[in-house]
Protein backbone atom coordinates (compact mmCIF):
# COMPACT_ATOMS: atom_id res chain seq x y z
CA UNK A 1 0.00 0.00 0.00
CA UNK A 2 1.31 3.42 -0.98
CA UNK A 3 0.10 6.52 0.86
CA UNK A 4 0.03 10.10 -0.36
CA UNK A 5 -0.38 12.72 2.37
CA UNK A 6 -1.59 15.88 0.65
CA UNK A 7 -0.66 19.23 2.20
CA UNK A 8 -1.95 22.47 0.79
CA UNK A 9 0.49 25.35 1.26
CA UNK A 10 -0.02 27.85 4.06
CA UNK A 11 -1.67 31.22 3.60
CA UNK A 12 -0.19 33.92 1.37
CA UNK A 13 -1.29 37.56 1.46
CA UNK A 14 -3.82 36.67 -1.28
CA UNK A 15 -5.41 33.67 0.46
CA UNK A 16 -7.73 35.47 2.92
CA UNK A 17 -9.08 37.54 0.03
CA UNK A 18 -9.80 34.33 -1.91
CA UNK A 19 -8.01 35.66 -4.99
CA UNK A 20 -7.02 33.32 -7.80
CA UNK A 21 -3.30 32.75 -7.53
CA UNK A 22 -2.01 30.36 -10.15
CA UNK A 23 1.18 29.73 -12.06
CA UNK A 24 0.56 32.49 -14.59
CA UNK A 25 0.76 35.44 -12.22
CA UNK A 26 2.78 36.53 -9.23
CA UNK A 27 4.47 33.94 -7.03
CA UNK A 28 3.76 35.09 -3.46
CA UNK A 29 5.43 33.55 -0.45
CA UNK A 30 3.82 32.71 2.85
CA UNK A 31 2.39 35.44 5.04
CA UNK A 32 3.27 35.47 8.76
CA UNK A 33 0.04 33.53 9.39
CA UNK A 34 1.01 31.09 6.65
CA UNK A 35 4.39 30.46 8.21
CA UNK A 36 2.68 29.64 11.49
CA UNK A 37 0.36 27.23 9.65
CA UNK A 38 3.33 25.56 7.95
CA UNK A 39 5.04 25.06 11.32
CA UNK A 40 1.84 23.60 12.79
CA UNK A 41 1.44 21.23 9.85
CA UNK A 42 5.08 20.15 10.17
CA UNK A 43 4.55 19.38 13.85
CA UNK A 44 1.42 17.35 13.03
CA UNK A 45 3.31 15.38 10.39
CA UNK A 46 6.12 14.65 12.85
CA UNK A 47 3.58 13.31 15.34
CA UNK A 48 2.02 11.19 12.60
CA UNK A 49 5.37 9.69 11.61
CA UNK A 50 6.13 7.31 8.77
CA UNK A 51 6.73 9.84 6.00
CA UNK A 52 9.58 8.71 3.79
CA UNK A 53 9.74 11.38 1.08
CA UNK A 54 8.57 14.92 0.29
CA UNK A 55 7.70 16.30 -3.13
CA UNK A 56 6.51 19.85 -3.78
CA UNK A 57 5.30 22.29 -6.38
CA UNK A 58 8.02 24.69 -7.50
CA UNK A 59 5.99 27.72 -6.46
CA UNK A 60 7.37 29.73 -3.58
CA UNK A 61 4.50 29.22 -1.14
CA UNK A 62 4.72 25.44 -1.52
CA UNK A 63 8.49 25.27 -1.29
CA UNK A 64 8.40 27.32 1.93
CA UNK A 65 5.69 25.05 3.38
CA UNK A 66 7.57 21.92 2.32
CA UNK A 67 10.83 23.09 3.87
CA UNK A 68 9.17 23.55 7.27
CA UNK A 69 8.07 19.91 7.06
CA UNK A 70 11.46 18.76 5.78
CA UNK A 71 13.29 20.44 8.65
CA UNK A 72 10.94 18.84 11.17
CA UNK A 73 11.09 15.38 9.56
CA UNK A 74 14.77 15.35 8.64
CA UNK A 75 14.07 14.79 4.95
CA UNK A 76 15.08 16.44 1.70
CA UNK A 77 12.57 18.00 -0.69
CA UNK A 78 12.15 17.11 -4.36
CA UNK A 79 10.53 19.68 -6.65
CA UNK A 80 8.15 18.54 -9.40
CA UNK A 81 7.11 21.26 -11.83
CA UNK A 82 3.88 19.43 -12.69
CA UNK A 83 2.55 19.99 -9.16
CA UNK A 84 2.26 23.74 -9.86
CA UNK A 85 -1.13 25.44 -9.68
CA UNK A 86 -3.17 25.98 -12.83
CA UNK A 87 -2.46 29.02 -14.99
CA UNK A 88 -5.57 31.19 -14.59
CA UNK A 89 -4.76 33.49 -17.50
CA UNK A 90 -6.44 36.89 -17.26
CA UNK A 91 -8.11 35.84 -14.00
CA UNK A 92 -4.87 35.84 -12.02
CA UNK A 93 -5.20 37.97 -8.89
CA UNK A 94 -8.97 38.38 -9.21
CA UNK A 95 -11.69 37.15 -6.87
CA UNK A 96 -14.43 34.93 -8.27
CA UNK A 97 -16.83 37.87 -7.96
CA UNK A 98 -14.53 39.98 -10.13
CA UNK A 99 -14.19 37.16 -12.66
CA UNK A 100 -17.97 36.79 -12.73
CA UNK A 101 -18.35 40.51 -13.37
CA UNK A 102 -15.64 40.82 -16.03
CA UNK A 103 -15.69 37.44 -17.80
CA UNK A 104 -19.11 35.85 -17.11
CA UNK A 105 -19.34 33.72 -20.26
CA UNK A 106 -15.81 32.39 -19.99
CA UNK A 107 -16.33 31.57 -16.31
CA UNK A 108 -19.54 29.66 -17.05
CA UNK A 109 -17.77 27.68 -19.76
CA UNK A 110 -14.80 26.92 -17.47
CA UNK A 111 -17.07 25.69 -14.68
CA UNK A 112 -19.07 23.54 -17.11
CA UNK A 113 -16.26 21.88 -19.06
CA UNK A 114 -12.70 20.74 -18.27
CA UNK A 115 -11.86 21.57 -21.89
CA UNK A 116 -12.54 25.31 -21.48
CA UNK A 117 -9.63 27.60 -20.53
CA UNK A 118 -9.82 30.73 -18.41
CA UNK A 119 -9.89 34.04 -20.28
CA UNK A 120 -6.63 35.10 -21.87
CA UNK A 121 -5.24 31.67 -22.69
CA UNK A 122 -4.93 30.05 -19.27
CA UNK A 123 -4.75 26.33 -18.62
CA UNK A 124 -7.75 23.99 -18.93
CA UNK A 125 -8.57 21.60 -16.11
CA UNK A 126 -8.02 18.76 -18.60
CA UNK A 127 -4.43 19.92 -19.00
CA UNK A 128 -4.01 20.12 -15.22
CA UNK A 129 -5.45 16.62 -14.86
CA UNK A 130 -3.06 15.23 -17.46
CA UNK A 131 0.07 16.47 -15.68
CA UNK A 132 -1.21 15.61 -12.19
CA UNK A 133 -2.01 12.08 -13.33
CA UNK A 134 1.56 11.72 -14.57
CA UNK A 135 2.89 12.91 -11.20
CA UNK A 136 0.68 10.42 -9.35
CA UNK A 137 1.78 7.52 -11.51
CA UNK A 138 5.46 8.45 -11.09
CA UNK A 139 5.11 8.73 -7.31
CA UNK A 140 3.37 5.37 -7.03
CA UNK A 141 6.11 3.73 -9.08
CA UNK A 142 9.02 5.47 -7.33
CA UNK A 143 7.71 5.10 -3.78
CA UNK A 144 5.76 1.82 -3.87
CA UNK A 145 4.78 0.79 -0.35
CA UNK A 146 5.93 4.07 1.21
CA UNK A 147 4.28 7.26 2.47
CA UNK A 148 4.94 10.46 0.53
CA UNK A 149 4.11 14.03 1.51
CA UNK A 150 2.82 15.99 -1.50
CA UNK A 151 2.85 19.77 -1.03
CA UNK A 152 0.78 21.56 -3.65
CA UNK A 153 -2.21 23.77 -4.39
CA UNK A 154 -5.99 23.53 -4.43
CA UNK A 155 -6.23 22.57 -8.12
CA UNK A 156 -3.71 19.70 -8.23
CA UNK A 157 -4.70 18.33 -4.80
CA UNK A 158 -8.41 18.38 -5.61
CA UNK A 159 -7.54 16.61 -8.85
CA UNK A 160 -5.69 13.83 -7.04
CA UNK A 161 -8.69 13.36 -4.75
CA UNK A 162 -11.17 13.43 -7.62
CA UNK A 163 -9.19 10.82 -9.53
CA UNK A 164 -8.98 8.60 -6.45
CA UNK A 165 -12.77 8.79 -6.05
CA UNK A 166 -13.32 8.30 -9.80
CA UNK A 167 -15.59 11.33 -9.60
CA UNK A 168 -16.60 13.55 -12.55
CA UNK A 169 -14.70 16.79 -13.27
CA UNK A 170 -17.30 19.17 -11.81
CA UNK A 171 -16.74 17.71 -8.33
CA UNK A 172 -13.51 19.75 -8.19
CA UNK A 173 -15.65 22.75 -7.30
CA UNK A 174 -17.36 20.98 -4.39
CA UNK A 175 -14.29 20.28 -2.22
CA UNK A 176 -12.93 22.56 0.48
CA UNK A 177 -9.18 22.42 0.99
CA UNK A 178 -8.15 25.06 3.50
CA UNK A 179 -4.67 26.54 3.70
CA UNK A 180 -2.26 24.08 5.39
CA UNK A 181 -4.93 21.36 5.47
CA UNK A 182 -4.02 17.68 5.27
CA UNK A 183 -5.77 14.95 3.26
CA UNK A 184 -4.73 11.31 2.86
CA UNK A 185 -5.06 8.86 -0.03
CA UNK A 186 -3.96 5.23 -0.15
CA UNK A 187 -3.37 3.11 -3.23
CA UNK A 188 -3.42 -0.69 -3.13
CA UNK A 189 -3.28 -1.40 -6.88
CA UNK A 190 -3.53 0.49 -10.17
CA UNK A 191 -6.92 2.16 -10.21
CA UNK A 192 -7.69 1.20 -6.60
CA UNK A 193 -7.53 4.15 -4.21
CA UNK A 194 -9.22 5.20 -1.00
CA UNK A 195 -9.68 8.62 0.59
CA UNK A 196 -8.97 8.38 4.33
CA UNK A 197 -9.16 12.03 5.35
CA UNK A 198 -10.10 15.30 3.72
CA UNK A 199 -9.31 18.90 4.70
CA UNK A 200 -8.00 18.03 8.16
CA UNK A 201 -7.18 21.30 9.97
CA UNK A 202 -7.15 20.08 13.59
CA UNK A 203 -3.46 20.94 13.88
CA UNK A 204 -4.23 24.60 13.19
CA UNK A 205 -6.02 25.06 16.50
Active site residues: 9, 85
Nearest to 85 by CA among 17, 28, 167: 28
Nearest to 117 by CA among 93, 99, 132, 135: 99
Q: d(Cα 198, Cα 5) in Å, to the nearest integer?
A: 10
Say how many CA atoms lie within 13 Å of 61 toward its Cβ. Answer: 31
Element (H, E) at 48: helix 32-48
Amino acid sequence: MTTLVLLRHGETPLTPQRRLSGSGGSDPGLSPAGRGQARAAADALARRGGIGAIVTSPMRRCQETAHWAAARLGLSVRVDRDLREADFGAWEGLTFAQVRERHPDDLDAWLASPESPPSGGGETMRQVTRRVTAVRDELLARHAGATVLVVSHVGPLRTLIRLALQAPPHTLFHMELAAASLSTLTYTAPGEAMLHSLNDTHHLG
